[in-house]
Structure 1
Amino acid sequence: MSANETEMDNLHEKAKASEEEHIAKLDEQMHHATSPAAEAWAYGAAGWMALLAVPHLLFPRLLVLMATPETGAAPEHHPLRLTQLESFFSLHFGVLLITVALSVIISIPNASPGEPRPEALQHPLLTPLSLGLGVMSFASYHTSLKGLGALPMIAAVGSGAISLWGFWVMFFASEGRRSKKTGADKRTSAFLFGNKAAASEQKKEYRRQTSQKKYE
């Protein structure tokens, strides 16, 4: 074994030991940062918001019945049904409550960080809000077909645009799609046109250079 190979092995062992020490420190920090009381509060708050969302999504008339005065029959100005506009906002408020409840659960710190992530971390609310806005966009478009003016279509376009933007960030704007060794984008291909910047071509070039250095 040459001196260069021995030196490379020593550097690799030092880097591995340093990485293990860093993971252990992160594990200890996350363990101390996680509060059982805060975690219990998060589950309680999420459960309460989910409970509030049920009548808004499934039983909107129940809200009217609960808001009826206790004097008996409701007066004429207090009908026992929601208008189209009230139903529209009730549905969207229910979806928002479910989205916030999921966000609270997802944002609970993990007790173990697991493997380190070299890529940039995404926003913790990116996934639940993108999903929630997608549901709101679909519901708004469906409501616009029933004739409620321009409001549902505006809500459908706005919520849909933000939702699609969020999904684009999740699937296409992540640094995790780049090779750790070559830095090439894994979504590129050399098929048909022989793209030299493709991940497969960069990997071949990396292996060729590595093998040349080994025999030098």
Structure 2
Amino acid sequence: MDAISAYSLASLGWLSAQALPLIVWPSFVASLLMTEVPVPPVAVYFARALGLAQLGLALQTLVLSGLLPLNSVDDSNTASPYAWAALFISTLYHGGAAFYSYGCYYYRMQPTVTAFAVGCIGSSILAAFGTWCMLFGGGSRISRRTGADKRTSGFPFTNSTADKRKMR
């Protein structure tokens, strides 16, 4: 399993853990947030809509990463062309959610807002993992013969030893 597939599965798990209570018990979640005893139907609607949107983002990331194939032909050796786009969008989402949760936790600082701290930690871990996947998760470009990275250049320093070997 490559890094992008692991990130997609982790993102699916985190977003599903957030979405299922919103879909199954929207009035309970809304009653935790509101001081009014009867929960208005619009709060239930928005809670379920948010839960379904989170599940949609998680499943879309999973499908576009190539972990769930869209066709019946097994092309396991080829990467999905949309994996980087799905990785980028979901990393931006997790980064934004972490930033928002941290802001809400920091400015309220009450014992009852531990959910913001948990959300900040989970989203920060996924944002960092997604950033790592974008930087280093593209596979290996190490030469089998020399052991050097093929993506590096000699600018601004040249490899005089390699240049001498090429001259011979």
* Shorter-chain TM-score range: 0.3 to 0.5
TM-score if structure 1 supplies the norm length? 0.37
Computing the radius of gyration over CA atoms, which structure comes out larger, 1 or 2?
Answer: 1
TM-score normalized with structure 2 length: 0.45
| Higher RCO (CA-CA < 8 Å; seq separation 6+) | 2
